[in-house]
Amino acid sequence: MARQVGFIGVGRMGEPMALRLIAAGHELVVFDARPQSLAAVVAKGARAVSSPAEVASAVDTVLLSLPTPPIVREVALGAGGVASGSKVKTVIDLSTTGATAAREIAAALAAKGVTWVDSPVSGGVAGAVAGTLAVMVSGPRALCTELEPMLSVFGKFFFIGERPGMGQTMKLANNLLSATAMAATAEAVVFGVKSGLDPAVMCDVINAGSGRNTASMDKIPRQVITRRFQQGFATGLMYKDVRLCLEEAESLGVPMPVASGVRAIWARANEELGADSDMTAITQLIERGAGVVVKGK
């Protein structure tokens, strides 16, 4: 059933998700801190307003797609934020916010009669465009069931649990594996290239064997060997996700020595390549140390 909803944050991931909602017949009231980002969704019929509070005064359900936990917190609870809206009853967070922040924001909103639903997504910009994201949802079961048809517009719906933050924990576990696969596969392929192997043949062999992973199947062949480096997910965001995962693990008393090493290399990539660089550019960091370039023959 089509509904009127709010959408805050129409950047790399938010724009294609918002456009999929519009294509499915939903009416959108939208806001982004960068007015130029609103053009594509407004052109498809969305109504732009001037603040998160205005979004939350126009609709009862607001979706967030934002880059960092502090921004999510500010948009939800800050001056002129969603919590100031007069109509909002449900906030759905599509961002990667982390369980601790999610629980804190959920409690603050609950005091105002607003329900928080985790709904982080995985699959990148391509998945957002195609509607093939993994959608990890946690919140009151009945409400999540009610929201499932709308959230399934983004991809495959997974109900993770009822407690705030459970969807966020699932997302951080997933992104830790994604970050590990990218860094480790880049190291393996650079090692092979330095030894004289063809990186394309390496990927073919890896993908036919037990080392197969998302980086060997997609990111290395399509973004690194071609030298495009346009996967669509920033180095700074991947570093943020790995860092958040380690912080959550440490708070739970879960030792993660492998993840600690992964965090260190993504911290280096973030510092040396820049937060806005594409996540696949981490290969360039390893190439520099080895003195080789991974490219097609």
Pure H helices in the chain: 14-23, 39-43, 52-58, 69-77, 99-110, 124-130, 141-151, 166-194, 199-208, 214, 235-252, 257-273, 282-290
Residue 229 has pLDDT above 80, yes or no: yes
Q: Residues 149-201: pLDDT tens digits? A: 999 999 999 999 999 999 999 999 999 999 999 999 999 999 999 999 999 99
**Cα 89 to Cα 195: distance, rounded to the nearest angstrom:** 59
What token pair was written down for 242? Answer: 């790995």
Q: 137, 163, 189: which is the final residue of a domain?
A: 163
- Please report, in angstroms and rounded to a whole number, the separation of the first and last CA atoms in the chain: 52
Which residues constitute the domain of residue 61? 4-163
- Number of domains the chain is built from: 2
Compute the average pLDDT of residues 266-288. Answer: 97
Q: Tell me which residues are annotated as active site.
A: 171
Work out the angle between the directed axes of helices 99-110 and 166-194 (0-180°, nearest 10): 160
Tell me: do 55 and 113 sit in the same domain. Answer: yes
Residue 1 has pLDDT above 70, yes or no: no
Q: Residues 35-90: pLDDT tens digits? A: 889 999 999 999 999 999 999 999 999 999 999 999 999 999 999 999 999 999 99
Predicted model pTM: 0.93
In this structure, the chain runs to a length of 297
**Cα 71 to Cα 77: distance, rounded to the nearest angstrom:** 10
The CATH number given to whatever domain includes residue 65 is 3.40.50.720
Residue 269 has pLDDT above 90, yes or no: yes
**Cα 52 to Cα 35: distance, rounded to the nearest angstrom:** 13
> How sure is the predictor about 297, in pLDDT bands with cuts at 50, 70 and 90?
confident
**Cα 226 to Cα 221: distance, rounded to the nearest angstrom:** 7
